[in-house]
Structure 1
């Protein structure tokens, strides 16, 4: 409910107060829908069955690791490609179920896909990239080139 107030004019001390009920505008309704989180959750799962998977990137002195949370999939569901310093990880799954009974046929199908791309630094040995899928986590190992690996601190003696 909104409240409208009129201010006094020409020194008159008369104020009137009028309450009106109004429906929210379409644009404010859409804004509220997305701000509440329902909109993004609803749209991200509509006809996809999967949102963009979460990725952790770890680095140590010798390599990078990408850990991608993609439970419920098989190794054969993934495509991993490197092209011109771009690492692409994608998956596409289709599922169909059909149940026939005497009085009805029930048919369901689902489709899900994602694609994540990463620009690799020049320090990655692209010929030695490997991947492993275990317990719902796809791990991609990105070894660094020998010249890019961190060297231990070296003490220089003064002669």
Structure 2
């Protein structure tokens, strides 16, 4: 017989850790237009140089890092009483129903909002396979 030797408090701690991790993933909006896909992500407080966008034939991977300020304490030397800011790295991937044109992808970052435009691939490759007896 299998017994679970975990206190309910341990379960709450695991849940809190999962929620903290989930909060690091930015909110996204993906739109399917006639010519391509437009992905918008909220990235407040993220430096433009830390954003990385990579593409394959049908997917897009966006990653970034939000770094903590150099001085953790304020000008008076006091530590924060409460801090709900999240720092660290994260990565999101998006897979599209049709291929994308990797060379035509553009990305703009302004006012904490990253907008990536990925045009749809114009040529679709298909292969005919002969069935042998």
Alignment equivalent of 2:95, drawn from 94, 97, 119: 119
* 1:140-159 matches, cutoff 5 A: 140-146=116-122
Q: Number of aligned pairs?
A: 110
Aligned equivalent of 1:26: 7
Structure 2: how far apart are the matches of 1:138 and 1:76? 12
**Structure with bigger gyration radius:** 1
Aligned equivalent of 2:108: 132
Structure 2: gaps spanning 5 or more residues = 1-5, 80-85, 125-133
2:38–2:118 Cα contact (<8 Å) kept: yes
Residue 97 of structure 1 aligns to a residue whose secondary structure is coil
Structure 1: gaps spanning 5 or more residues = 1-24, 149-159
Shift in Å, 1:72? 1.5
- CA deviation vs aligned residue, 1:43-66 (integer Å, no higher than 9, x gap): 543xx7x51111111111111100
Over the aligned positions, Cα root-mean-square deviation in angstroms equals 3.5
- CA deviation vs aligned residue, 1:88-121 (integer Å, no higher than 9, x gap): 110124333267x9xx8x8xxx841110012244
Structure having greater relative contact order (Cα 8 Å, sep ≥ 6): 2
Query: Does 2:50 align with 1:74?
Result: no
- Structure having the larger proportion of residues in strand: 1
Alignment equivalent of 2:30, drawn from 47, 53, 57: 57
Structure 2: how far apart are the matches of 1:62 and 1:141? 10
- CA deviation vs aligned residue, 1:122-158 (integer Å, no higher than 9, x gap): 431111111111111111101113358xxxxxxxxxx
Report the TM-score when normalising by structure 2.
Answer: 0.62
